[in-house]
Structure 1
Amino acid sequence: MVKVRVAVIGCGSIAKNRHLKEYSANHQVDIVAVCDIVEGRARQAAELHNAKAYTDYKQLLKEEEVDAVSVCLPNYLHAPVSIAALEAGCHVLCEKPMATSKEEAEEMIQAAEKNNRKLMIGHNQRFVASHQKAKQLIESGELGKIYSFRTTFGHGGPEGWSADGADSWFFKKEKAFVGAMGDLGVHKADLMRYLLNEEFVEVAAFVETSAKQTATVDDNATLVMKSESGIIGTLAASWAYNAAEDNSTVIFAENAIVRLEDDPNYSMIVQYTNGEVVKYELGGIQSNEEGGQTTTHVIDHFIESVTTNQQPLIDGYEGMKSLNVILAALSSVETKQIFQMEK
């Protein structure tokens, strides 16, 4: 078996707790190099995974024979580093949001196509068992017409998760570009596009910085969204859910209400209009909380896409469409109007 030679650029918490762990568990992967501007962080990751440590990603790409790269960096570096890796002939798995503008996202897609390489964006919500089951129910027609939804992703904030704690880049606009809306909200925008299998055409948003006093980005955001067929719903993203994480979605349809990750014991509950209730135990959703699930299936899917030459489920175009929902929300906030999205 020929192994995929992988490098991880950025050795913060998402790399440490997700990418490196999941690459290490994949028998088709050989982690050959890691990179971080904090030398101690790079060395620690390198020792743990028997890889070579770098502090300069350009040097890594020049010196190492790498098949695939994970980009686990602050948001403003996603595009330039991904493009450099694609230009060096590497397949790229980039963390979300994929870029800080539509133009950057388009440049990433062009680099992937020009170099005939895979570009995948790490939207892990699509791989959650309850979400996949809900998509099957919707597509089967069993639920009838979908009317509306509400989806939420909130926790106490990145300071409890990020390698830099309260001094994290997540709170700094020049590096993060957006706050909770880009960190968590973009996941739910991607999820709803995936579940409903249609695009959003109108977005209105309200954002606040109320919980993190030193942040220069939003820590609470609420979006109202309308799809092509007229499905309307709300998306809430927050770094102020201090007591417990909420990663739930509820879909209101003609024949049933579907509750996803909304119950501590059942990952999906379907309440039919005839009074029947069906409860599913499908395994927990991945969580940053202690004791939470750590397998996202993102890495395995990325490696499978590379080894079988298949298009990833969340390629650059899909990543850009989900990013565009967040960009539309920003435009709505700036103009105080409902933003009409391009078709």
Structure 2
Amino acid sequence: MRIGIVGFGLRASLTRYAHAPENGHEVTIVCDISERGRRDAAARIPGVTVTDSLGELLSSGIDAVLVLTPDFAHAPVAIACLEAGIPTFCEKPLATTIEDADAILAAAARTRTRLYVGHNMRHMPAMRTMKDIIDSGRIGQVKAVWCRHFVGNGGDYYFKDWHADRSKSTGLLLQKGAHDIDVIHWLAGAFTRSTAAMGALTVYGDIADRADNSQRRMGEWFDVGTWPPETQTGLSEVIDVEDVSQVNMTLRNGVLASYEQCHFTPDYWRNYTVIGTRGRIENFGDDDGDAIGIWDRRHDGSAPPDETVRVAGEQGGHGGADPNLIGEFLRFARDGGTTETSPVAAREAVAVGFQATASLRGGGSALPIPQLDPEIVDYFERGQA
């Protein structure tokens, strides 16, 4: 398989799994509008063609393409790839607006070109283990899902580049939260019907040390030793997204869910609690060897889990999720069939993030999630056959 990449930035780390000539697939062309991106691609992939022309990439005879551009460019690039008939991997979140997300799905359905969205958390061992416990019936019927996301590296990851500019990201409830919103839907077995949220820019907006980081990469400014958060330097020239937020969701099957996100915590991890009619589960970390507790007996006050399951990680980024993600996409691009990720689910995660952001900036009232065209839903549910 000959693979193209559009956008060679942070998620170009996926190249290590896509470019494996010994396994029958290789990256043959990279398109990036920045000189830095083209230079990095040429250095990392010997013999690769680099270009700033999307048209050149689309006409190069590739068998699949990875769209790894900044999120606000996903829609025009992904639609062009789909219209060219090239099986397309689009990094998550699918888009930064509901309108753009729907346009990408419509293009895939119209052209009958295979679309895959990179929600790698569905391949993370910790999340898969929790899903297996739920599917086994151990905790009964799910009734509530709570997620707390401690984004300890938020100042470095999201407040020094375009992520901090709402005109490009919409907000971090969408850009960062789409990961966990998708997992909440997956664990609960339904999409969101309505959502309400609140949040604020409480820390990073007060830091005056700003810089233009457009020609730099996150690894060049990241410093885990920067503490407390008020000592951050070189923040984005534009910061108008929230650094702490919380959202409530009512799902279509009656499950109630919540998601809390904070970008200035000292620790960096996500904590899920899933409560069913016969018990609950909760993860303590999401890496190899971390624990998932199961409570399925009554206790007087706080008690240790009735059973503890250890997460068995794999080799590769995000606990083995990234190589599994690219492996599934390449198989799907070549052969079709079912996948663990879902373009419709990716759209629903964007829709919740978008409406939740509108809610928190508009007084916190509950807003409905617009429904996707049933014919498009049917097309994807049939496996894009």
Q: How many Å separate the matches in 2 of 1:323 and 1:286?
A: 29
User: Aligned residue pairs: how many?
Assistant: 329
Task: Determine the structure 1 residue equivalent to 2:311.
Answer: 282
Query: Compared with structure 1, are the counterparts of its residues 25 and 145 closer, same or farther at alpha carbon in structure 2 (3 Å cutoff)?
Result: same
2:191 maps to 1:199? yes
Among candidates 18, 21, 28, match of residue 23 of structure 1: 18
- Taking CA–CA contacts closer than 8 Å with sequence separation of 6 or more, which of the two structures ends up with the larger relative contact order? 2
Q: Deviations over 1:269-293 (max 9, x none)?
A: 21222576222222349998xxx74
Structure 2 counterparts to residues 231-310 of structure 1, below 5 A: 231-241=255-265, 243-262=266-285, 265-273=289-297, 277-284=306-313, 293=319, 295-296=321-322, 297-310=324-337
Structure 1 unaligned runs (5+)? none
Equivalent residues of 1:211, 1:239 under 8 A apart: no
- Aligned partner of residue 19 in structure 2, secondary structure: helix
Deviation of residue 122 (structure 1)?
1.2
Q: Which has the larger displacement, 300-309 or 251-260?
A: 251-260
- Aligned partner of residue 269 in structure 2, secondary structure: coil
Equivalent residues of 2:92, 2:117 under 8 A apart: yes
Task: Determine the structure 2 residue equivalent to 1:186.
Answer: 178
Task: Determine the structure 1 residue equivalent to 2:66.
Answer: 70
Task: Determine the structure 2 residue equivalent to 1:225.
Answer: 249
Structure 2 counterparts to residues 1-343 of structure 1, below 5 A: 4-15=1-12, 17=13, 19-25=14-20, 27-50=23-46, 51-62=48-59, 64-157=60-153, 160-161=156-157, 167-178=160-171, 180-213=172-205, 214-241=238-265, 243-262=266-285, 265-273=289-297, 277-284=306-313, 293=319, 295-296=321-322, 297-336=324-363, 337-342=365-370
Q: Which has the larger displacement, 142-151 or 76-85?
A: 142-151
The amino acid of 2:54's aligned partner reads Y
Deviation of residue 317 (structure 1)?
1.7
Deviation of residue 303 (structure 1)?
0.8
Equivalent residues of 1:102, 1:324 under 8 A apart: yes
Identity %: 22
Q: Specify the structure having the higher radius of gyration (Cα).
A: 2
Query: Compared with structure 1, are the counterparts of its residues 212 and 317 closer, same or farther at alpha carbon in structure 2 (3 Å cutoff)?
Result: same
The amino acid of 2:358's aligned partner reads S
Q: How many Å separate the matches in 2 of 1:286 and 1:205?
A: 37
Deviation of residue 149 (structure 1)?
2.1
> What TM-score comes out, normalization by structure 2 length?
0.78
Question: How well do the aligned residues superpose, as a CA RMSD in angstroms?
Answer: 2.6
Equivalent residues of 1:184, 1:238 under 8 A apart: no
Q: How many Å separate the matches in 2 of 1:233 and 1:299?
A: 30
Q: How many Å separate the matches in 1 of 2:270 and 2:57?
A: 37
- Aligned partner of residue 152 in structure 2, secondary structure: coil
Query: Compared with structure 1, are the counterparts of its residues 207 and 234 closer, same or farther at alpha carbon in structure 2 (3 Å cutoff)?
Result: same
Structure 2 unaligned runs (5+)? 206-237, 300-304, 372-385
Query: Compared with structure 1, are the counterparts of its residues 52 and 261 closer, same or farther at alpha carbon in structure 2 (3 Å cutoff)?
Result: farther
